[in-house]
Structure 1
């Protein structure tokens, strides 16, 4: 959905230039965005002869029109003006000297013509008045034929996923303020500005003017975190109010936004100057329900980043070395028996990846094997016929060979990836680790009982040297959250059993900065937001579901507590879901977060007319997990909604642990993602060229990204009282970041001094054994249980709880896929007394 909309917008941008042949000029920021949506073939098909980077050396093309797809920064405007400014050509300019058909020189013959025949400026974001003034005054009007703002500044990772690609945002949002509180709050406000502007771009792309809800954690859950405590306002609330203000201004300035079937027949928007403004539009039949934007943050669910997720996409990103969630490098043996290095791009163009990415690994592997068998059997039989093959059959066979080869390579790739995941699954003893994780994350055993032997099962795994330190850390973190904190002495003994390095201990201790009770001495009781409701027929080690899934289900059923998830404005009269076609359960009592099984699925069978699906955008500040992405895809189908999820970045457990370990030290140097000044400034009147016959022929277009283009103005920026310590001269006193919108230099943000130097840490370093062995308080309440023993040098590293699973090897043969494996029965020695026979195990 999102990728298709962006693809359509980019193609419309290229087709808006009437010239048959053209040059496309991008910058380093817009190039990856364009490449994630359009292939090189797609771009060339639109008459683009070449794609150049604006900061790189470029040869002149005076006969071709130039499309500038860039961010509206000072540097880019300087380069655009320079491309069309008259200048002398030095004798050493080999590029122009070697041109056989050079344009005639002007004047004395020493002045070179502009680099391109004309300029079509397509800015990815809103552009500042000051920069527009420079372009219209310094650029010759005969060359400047268009100036548009596209509002496409977002990274679309998948059809339902977008991101800011800001991995350091987590540290800026949650690191405790350093010595200079103002600097920490300024960086916090800067990240909120980036998030709000990306959300406005996403809503404009979708053509949605939504109702906005945000996460407001109750005091029993946690207080304000990081710089938000110094600012005196929760992050989600400030972000939601800022998005509301900007999207209101955007709707005022665009008469055809939102599209008519996105709003009720009339909707009153807050006016900019005190006068009532009524937007009345015809409504299509049947209308699309008004969209909803749900804003939450990482602190709402800290279980999801730690729990091992065994669906295909999540497991691959957790266990394999996949760069940025999409690039996988591997080696394979070719037909000549030579080993080659290859790189696979895991996108939605890979049909095999798209089909199995959200399946449980067992189901995904079963399907991959079955598909490969069917493929090998069908095509080996077809190509192995010795006679009776006509010339037409042979032609069809040869024409299909490239596609068949690609299908075979994709199946082989994913079989290899799945097999490697299963190998690591056994090698890292993940069945035993995952069983403990599930009991901690869900609070119950597979039989629905309270776990009472977690320590006996956990300590042997922590002692086991074959279990990685990261997996041990994840177990300890989940156990501490499950127990709502443990005594300090017991926590130290857990560290000693696991032999954690100092920075790994810091990662667990820094959970306190995220509102977690790490120590039992804190005196606060943390209440769970949602009760885990494992799905039927779920695997024992895949019972946990992220809180985001329950939040969406309760929103759709109308039972999501409005005190914890309030509306910024325009709450439905019933206080429930915004969709009039959703069968809402009885609203929960005020202050209650009781779970209710959703009822919206019961209405799907009675529908006779296809109705437009409501669009729901979920934004997770601080990073989203692959389990949450999977939940969005699953709910989109089961709830009959178009759900899109976005975040500052996508995180893996390893990345999250690394961020936690550095949380008390603050973020590193500034993020260099450019945000134009108008992203944070007030709307203004349209700038007009001094020559009415130039730009007026193709007017300055402040386009919004939905299909019905209309001249518009930049959304209004509603400043916060202390949004930035300094005001920029071009911001009209509203206080956004500087003109190039880079964050302040890193030396402006002091990094708190740690008592331990991270450079001196060794991954094998661990604390000495405790001298208070056996003296710790009880680890369980109310049922008594053994305390955590101190590690002993002679302790055995064999686990008391283990589960055995087969490795699966696949061998391609001329007749199909041969599957080899041993017995696949799971065993458990002391994990529990006896498992029910009808219960599923993770095995083959």
Structure 2
């Protein structure tokens, strides 16, 4: 189960079906992101795709010598634009692929527009999601619904994305959902309706143990997106922000022009792939090794004295240049992370966060938060996240002083809008809403574990926290996940330990949870878990989330469907 591979195979198949010759790839805004996440432009150029266009851009030139591969989401706007295109075709032939199921009515609209008979192929290729890591996908949606209900258009989009994941991975799953969430129940039911409606598409070879789709709600764990992160990918997203593998570094002091925006892709960057889940200390050491290796190679390149030396230099130059780019990029990124950690006192902030959620002596935590609110080095957003964590952690505590901390934020100059987030997070993921004992204060086993952990001393005080997802998946794999809390949809139930699990988080997932899934996959041979969410959060995007409610022959491994004209 590899979502990057699934999307790559679809795109390769589209290009192959168009045959030899020069080609243009015509996409919409979302499919552009879907393609760019798994393929570098240089790779697609090697497949004779020389032009990349958006269907909604005006003034495209007519180039009848090019074949056109259209990869589009089957939404009304795209169907109308494509119908206009077919009435006055700019390219010689059209091969049309929709990223999820398209209605017969919309196919009829396109067939009637194809007067000049330029269309050679119309198929559904189920790539209606953005693949981030092999086991992680997103739909890039922030703010699923007002209150505790879905916005209709976003429910439809989520159903399309999730069924597309299942079809691309060839899974017809049993469905379980978080019982405390009405949104999880509705999404689960809508996915099942789609599976029943398109039963022929979901007729995959039966496996001994049925796959499982587990639908969860972010509200059950509002703590995880509030925490600072210390593994490479998660830390970059938290401090710099990753959008479709791109990082904006234009605000970095003294940044050179060519490094103002960089791409971090594990598919095309070996150092990044090897260090995604390393903690910050290890990354520093690995960057030093990368630098040393580069310097050795560059010294070796310096001696160009003979024809043989020149030949060797020219042969190695592309590799040498690529390594030079990799070194420059990661030294810049890690250098900026280090600068921010020191400048914003993030070690102290993070230690307090972890104490709050993992050990939690109330008076000591309260004192530390007050002290950090008074520390001018700590930025507004970090004192805000501490107060939000405190509000969730001590919601029912008899000496709870949320109002005092909010007043301290006001005196410090934190805006009304940001101070309102403390109340918003309680509305979003407080005890009344989440339906789980997130801190497991009444669980004697959890208290004993916490006590023993405190006695032994924690290996890394900045990464003690385990997301709720970890516990849920552990129980699911052991067959101990309570049916009352996570019921099955329908009558059939799983009697064996599941092997293939797709987890979907309404309201967004995080890189900390992605790391937890990576660890579960590595620690449990034969178990394959894929994690998805409406988005992948950092603290900034999570504030947005919670402010919304308060305010040829197809290979056997690929699911497609030909649409008849």
TM-score (norm 2): 0.86
- Give the aligned partner of residue 343 of structure 1: 261
1:36-55 to structure 2, matched below 5 A, reads 36-55=37-56
Question: Is the Cα–Cα contact under 8 Å of residues 504 and 531 in structure 2 kept in the other structure?
Answer: yes
Q: CA deviation at 1:160?
A: 1.9
CA distance in 1, matches of 2:117, 2:243: 46
- Give the aligned partner of residue 512 of structure 1: 426
Q: CA deviation at 1:429?
A: 2.1
Q: CA deviation at 1:296?
A: 0.5
CA distance in 1, matches of 2:462, 2:350: 6
Structure 1 SS opposite 2:226: coil
Structure 1 SS opposite 2:32: helix
- Give the aligned partner of residue 550 of structure 2: 664
Which of 462, 465, 468 is equivalent to 1:544?
465
Structure 1 SS opposite 2:540: helix
Q: CA deviation at 1:410?
A: 1.8
Matched, 1:634 2:523: no
Kindly provide the CA deviation profile for residues 657-693 of structure 1, in whole angstroms up to 9, marking residues without a partner as x.
344345422xxxxxxxxxxxxxxxxxxxxxxxxxxxx
Which of 549, 558, 565 is equivalent to 1:707?
558
Which of 138, 147, 162 is equivalent to 1:176?
147
CA distance in 2, matches of 1:409, 1:205: 34
Question: Is the Cα–Cα contact under 8 Å of residues 23 and 49 in structure 1 kept in the other structure?
Answer: yes
Question: Is the Cα–Cα contact under 8 Å of residues 406 and 419 in structure 2 kept in the other structure?
Answer: yes
- Give the aligned partner of residue 132 of structure 2: 157
CA distance in 1, matches of 2:337, 2:72: 41
Q: CA deviation at 1:372?
A: 2.0
Q: CA deviation at 1:461?
A: 1.5
- Give the aligned partner of residue 403 of structure 1: 319
Question: Is the Cα–Cα contact under 8 Å of residues 507 and 662 in structure 1 kept in the other structure?
Answer: no
Larger gyration radius, structure 1 or structure 2: 1
Distance 1:515 1:77, change over 3 A: closer
Matched, 1:72 2:74: yes
Q: More deviation in 655-664 or 207-216?
A: 655-664
Structure 1 SS opposite 2:230: coil
Distance 1:420 1:525, change over 3 A: same
1:419-818 to structure 2, matched below 5 A, reads 419-443=335-359, 453-485=364-396, 490-498=401-409, 499=412, 500-517=414-431, 527-528=437-438, 531=446, 538-569=459-490, 572=493, 574=495, 577-578=497-498, 614-640=499-525, 641-661=527-547, 663-665=549-551, 706-707=557-558, 709=560, 711=562
Equivalent residue pairs, number: 545
- Give the aligned partner of residue 610 of structure 1: none
CA distance in 2, matches of 1:323, 1:32: 10
1:23-38 to structure 2, matched below 5 A, reads 23-38=24-39
Question: Is the Cα–Cα contact under 8 Å of residues 240 and 249 in structure 2 kept in the other structure?
Answer: no
Structure with higher RCO (Cα < 8 A, 6+ apart): 2
Which of 224, 246, 253 is equivalent to 1:326?
246
CA distance in 2, matches of 1:83, 1:501: 49
Q: CA deviation at 1:440?
A: 1.5
Structure 2 SS opposite 1:465: coil
- Give the aligned partner of residue 236 of structure 1: 184
- Give the aligned partner of residue 171 of structure 2: 208
Distance 1:77 1:310, change over 3 A: closer
Question: Is the Cα–Cα contact under 8 Å of residues 704 and 710 in structure 1 kept in the other structure?
Answer: no
Q: Which has the higher helix share?
A: 2
Distance 1:318 1:545, change over 3 A: same
Which of 221, 225, 228 is equivalent to 1:301?
221
CA distance in 2, matches of 1:385, 1:459: 60
Structure 1 SS opposite 2:462: coil
- Give the aligned partner of residue 443 of structure 2: none
Kindly provide the CA deviation profile for residues 494-526 of structure 1, in whole angstroms up to 9, marking residues without a partner as x.
1233333322221001123224159xxx9x997
Matched, 1:129 2:104: yes
Distance 1:21 1:501, change over 3 A: closer
- Give the aligned partner of residue 334 of structure 2: 418
CA distance in 2, matches of 1:215, 1:343: 39
Question: Is the Cα–Cα contact under 8 Å of residues 176 and 513 in structure 1 kept in the other structure?
Answer: no
Q: CA deviation at 1:242?
A: 1.6
CA distance in 1, matches of 2:257, 2:51: 35
Q: CA deviation at 1:412?
A: 3.4
Distance 1:165 1:342, change over 3 A: same
CA distance in 2, matches of 1:482, 1:206: 39
Distance 1:567 1:489, change over 3 A: closer
Instruction: Point out where structure 1 has 5 or more consecutive residues left out of the alignment.
Output: 87-113, 178-184, 218-223, 225-233, 265-288, 445-449, 579-613, 666-697, 714-844
CA distance in 1, matches of 2:353, 2:175: 34
Kindly provide the CA deviation profile for residues 414-445 of structure 1, in whole angstroms up to 9, marking residues without a partner as x.
2332233223223222232222211221135x
CA distance in 1, matches of 2:563, 2:481: 36
Question: Is the Cα–Cα contact under 8 Å of residues 287 and 331 in structure 2 kept in the other structure?
Answer: yes
Q: CA deviation at 1:9?
A: 0.9
Q: CA deviation at 1:619?
A: 0.8
Question: Is the Cα–Cα contact under 8 Å of residues 213 and 240 in structure 1 kept in the other structure?
Answer: yes
Instruction: Point out where structure 2 has 5 or more consecutive residues left out of the alignment.
Output: 441-445
Q: More deviation in 19-28 or 526-535?
A: 526-535
CA distance in 2, matches of 1:307, 1:49: 43
Q: CA deviation at 1:542?
A: 1.5
Q: CA deviation at 1:61?
A: 3.4
Distance 1:549 1:47, change over 3 A: same
Matched, 1:61 2:63: yes
- Give the aligned partner of residue 195 of structure 2: 247
Distance 1:654 1:23, change over 3 A: closer
Question: Is the Cα–Cα contact under 8 Å of residues 136 and 532 in structure 2 kept in the other structure?
Answer: yes
Question: Is the Cα–Cα contact under 8 Å of residues 623 and 649 in structure 1 kept in the other structure?
Answer: yes
Distance 1:461 1:59, change over 3 A: closer
Kindly provide the CA deviation profile for residues 725-783 of structure 1, in whole angstroms up to 9, marking residues without a partner as x.
xxxxxxxxxxxxxxxxxxxxxxxxxxxxxxxxxxxxxxxxxxxxxxxxxxxxxxxxxxx
Question: Is the Cα–Cα contact under 8 Å of residues 126 and 559 in structure 2 kept in the other structure?
Answer: no
Q: CA deviation at 1:451?
A: 6.1
Question: Is the Cα–Cα contact under 8 Å of residues 129 and 164 in structure 2 kept in the other structure?
Answer: yes
CA distance in 1, matches of 2:436, 2:67: 62
